[in-house]
Amino acid sequence: MAHRSDKAPLGSLGIDLGTTHTVIAHHGAPLVVAPAASRPTLLPSALAFPPSGEELVGWEARARRPIDPAHTLLSTKRLIGARFGSPRARRFAEHHPYAVVDRDGLAALRTRAGDLTPVDVAARLLVAAAARGECDPSARRAVITVPAAFEAAEREATLEAARRAGFAAVALVDEPVATAISYLERSNVRYGVVYDLGGGTFDLALVDCSRYPFRVVAHAGDPYLGGDDVDRVLAERVAERVLCRHRWDLAADPVTFARLVGACEAAKIALLDAETASIELAEVDPAGPFADPRVSVSRADLAGITHDLVRGTFTLVDHVLAEGRVRARDVDAIFLAGGSTALPGLRELVGQYFQKRARFDLDPMHVVAMGASLAAARPDLAALLDAEGFAA
């Protein structure tokens, strides 16, 4: 898929405001939002507030996670629209190092720049993504994707973030519907399953694509299941090896362990194309007494973790198919979305479950935003949009 880099005016945009990355697209093509990054079409959904007083967004913000985790905001989509003290807010606080505080009844996050709600964070991410994609929000119609499981409060909070970002008009589309739109430009099916495994979340939907509007028949998901779990499990295993070999516990200090998780994420990405990758222990913990400065991890190590994670998702797959009263063999197509679907062995396991090849010919990191951009640009797809079209 070619990347658009010129400055021609755009009438519409599709935006995947993801838990771990934000992607914007126009007419099916992702825009460049991070020119200096290895994946220039991906903007990490991250804000950081260093002691210097500046505000960092995207890759620059994400790089501060190992050294300043309490003021590096990640995965705040999990909290959008949540009330302070709600089960969702309590669960978020258990999984993240941020102080969750009350702001007018809503869950907010305490930072050096003040208390920010997830809507505040989302609005700033949208402003940054539009600016880096050389788009003026005030002249754009935007279709933003949301999980099928999002309820009214979460959907309204997402719309409010887009309004604060200055978009002239905005509509929502369910993420599995956006994925189906991308693929059904190229094929025709009745029942499609969208298997969406991202960095921090897993979503699964059974979609009836036989006619417009596409209908999500059944869905399920886990907002705390994704590639981040692979990073954490790999870090735990590396820490166990280091403890046995060097009698040094990399998991004892939260900041050190966060650096180890970051190093394991980099190793995971390297293992998508290589058989082995190395983790430099001195970079993780300069104080450690390491006679051997490296730990090697293999593609087989990663495949084992992937196997356990994917097997766990099949419980939700069973639930969705039962709710939709559809057998696995009656599913016409399986569409993969989310960067973690590139994990070794995942596509084969999903294909074995459904007894057919899973579709991944479109980039799983782009496919959601691509579908949203097609819905934004084509009037005949307006019936697929939440709230029946665009609202100012």
Considering the chain, what is the average pLDDT of its residues? 91
pLDDT for the residue numbered 195: 97
pLDDT for the residue numbered 390: 62
Interval 350-372 mean pLDDT: 95
pLDDT for the residue numbered 387: 53
pLDDT for the residue numbered 187: 62
Q: Token digits for 13?
A: 């945009």
pLDDT tens digits, one per residue of 28-62 = 999 999 988 889 999 999 999 999 999 999 999 99
Amino acid at 336: L
d(CA 161, CA 146): 13
pLDDT tens digits, one per residue of 206-234 = 999 988 778 899 999 999 999 999 999 99
Examine the pLDDT at 384 and tell me if it is beyond 90.
no
d(CA 175, CA 275): 33
CB neighbour class for 77 (10 Å; exposed up to 12, middle 13-18, buried from 19): buried
Tell me if 336 sits within 8 A of 347, measured CB to CB. Answer: yes
pLDDT tens digits, one per residue of 278-288 = 999 999 999 99
Examine the pLDDT at 6 and tell me if it is beyond 90.
no
